[in-house]
Amino acid sequence: MGHLEVDLVHHCGASASGEYLHTLQVLDVHTGWSERVGVLGRSYLVISHGMMYTAHRMPFAVQEIHVDNGAEFLNAHFLRLHRQVFGQAKLSRSRPYHKNDNRFVEGANRTLVRDYLGYERLDTVAHVRVLNALYDRLWLYDNFFQPVQRMVSKEVYTNEAGERCVRRTFDKALPPLDRLVRAQVLDKEQAERLLRWRDAIHLMRLRESIYATIETLFALPLANGTRQDVRESLLVPEEDDFLAQAIVPKGEVPWWERPVQLP
């Protein structure tokens, strides 16, 4: 528990020129708990803010962070950030040209990012803001409702025809929240709060809000050469703590069901 894989997903479209958005994705290997945040570019400024933001709302202690070999992760600034934010957590990296070393987050890049956003270009501050509103909703949908499985055993054998076969055994499919509760890594109050929050969510309306936000995102114009101030795209945990909005007053529409307004 708390062993995280980290990766960036590029949203450059057909051209990698200029600044464009990336999804910084953090995935817990054991539970499948995922955190995602949209960032503009790959500078230390946005990567550090993205890592601090995901760490701020992660409901369990971080034991290890495993990154790929991108320059955005392998630099002195990131190492300093790691020591300041994650303390004694172990830092490891993939072997060069071995994408399977980060296989869990690589698989999630498809199911939790590409399946929603495809390969379109996103490159403005407005795109960042709406994308992060989408990821707040997907945080609920994927962590609270979407079951994940983990392989518990793998057997290689030869069948009667002399062919090499592999038999894999998987555990019971459970949403990441249920896996956290079963692992008893959450304190009682925290677990009860998250479970009450899930019970209060109308799943169909949440899905409708997710797809409405995607439509809003792709309705935004591209930068087309206009200058973007990356500082306007930063998420500050103290100001954007949406977890603190879990308790919704009676009769009020929850934030995750409200339409996202165009910036």
pLDDT in tens, 136-165: 999 999 999 999 988 889 999 999 888 999
Query: Residue 106: which pLDDT band, with cuts at 50, 70 and 90?
Result: very high
Coil/strand/helix, residue 145? coil
Q: Is the pLDDT of residue 239 over 60?
A: no
pLDDT in tens, 219-236: 999 999 899 999 999 876
Structure token digits, residue 111: 């199911």
Q: Is the pTM of this model over 0.85?
A: yes
Question: In the predicted model, what is the mean pLDDT of the chain?
Answer: 89
d(CA 30, CA 86): 19
Coil/strand/helix, residue 55? helix
Burial of 170 (0-12, 13-18, 19+ CB in 10 A): exposed
Count of other CB atoms within 10 angstroms of residue 114 = 14
pLDDT in tens, 198-207: 998 999 999 9
Q: Which CATH number fits domain 3-257: 3.40.1190.20, 3.30.420.10, 3.40.50.720, 3.40.50.620?
A: 3.30.420.10
CB 1 within 8 A of CB 60: yes
Instruction: Give just the sign of the alpha carbon dihedral 151, 34, 262, 220.
Output: negative
CB 112 within 8 A of CB 34: yes
